[in-house]
Structure 1
Amino acid sequence: MKAMAFSNLIQDMKLHNVEKEHYSFIYNHFTFDVILSFTANAYEILVAIHTCNWGCVLEMDRNLNVYMQDNDYYSLCKILKLNWNNDHFNSFLFLQLLSEKAPAISSKQGVDYRYLQKYLSYRNVDEKEKIYFCGWNDHITDKRIAHNFDKTEFYFGPSVANYCRRNNISSLWTADKYRIIRYSNPWD
């Protein structure tokens, strides 16, 4: 897909020597974080939904042609609960949405390298390596089904795990020690 809507932003980024630009948008009740970066060969687009620990990296050439890998598209469809048959949602529409939601001009601030640490969690990390507690996810709002009860019980005991089971709450874990937060009860 040719993402022409990025052309104004890219020109403005070049004009102001900004190599990374961040923007976000909401689609289907999810907030997407996007970082457009200049690379040696062309452009890279980091896309993430932090609340679902989903993300992907898209390559875009100098002619603004961008392609989404099938596995990234299918995992996104699963999260959004959309598909081609029922919703006419496809990777082309998603890539078009990404480019159309991009700002026309740069913020001229770039992206602080520390902000990029959030994106490290999208590398393939085994669940057993996610040993740092980073919060609670109350699934009442997103209508998903809670999980991680065994891990919750192991670390926090049966009373906390049973509370999570009854209230559809998942414990959140990361392999990134910089995202660790201090433990608090899920009912606080």
Structure 2
Amino acid sequence: MRLYLSTLGKNPIVFEIEIDKKYCAKTYIEDYKELILYLEIKYDPNHTFKPVDLFEALNNKIPKKFQRKPNCSEVVSVASKRRRVEEADKIYFCGWRNNPTGYNISEMNIEKTRITFGDKIAAMCKLKNVSSCWTNISSDEYLKKINDLYSM
């Protein structure tokens, strides 16, 4: 599982943190120096900033009750800043494609499905050989089709 920390603005910086099954964060941050620059942390001879400091600060700021869940397009958009996502410009879910005999769901499509809908849906797509379909046109997004997977 991954946690994405994203800055705001037109060109956000996205930091990716691995989270294990017990919801514990791995303390290695790939872009550690970029994070230090972004947070504008200055050198302090009395205290060396460590990733654990960031995690403790984050832990103290995480609300007890989750207020807003990102939509599919936001998840794909943020994840594509850190991961190689199939057709990264196509962030709007528009349905499922039942692949014909001889054609298989691509590993990249499985990964995009996993990022957006989770491991269970991605595994079901792989088992049924069904690809998630995406568009770059927001008005074509059709989230009601998500549950159609169960009837395929």
Coarse TM-score class (shorter-chain normalised): 0.3 to 0.5
> In proportion to residue count, which structure has more strand?
1
TM-score of the pair, normalised by structure 1? 0.36
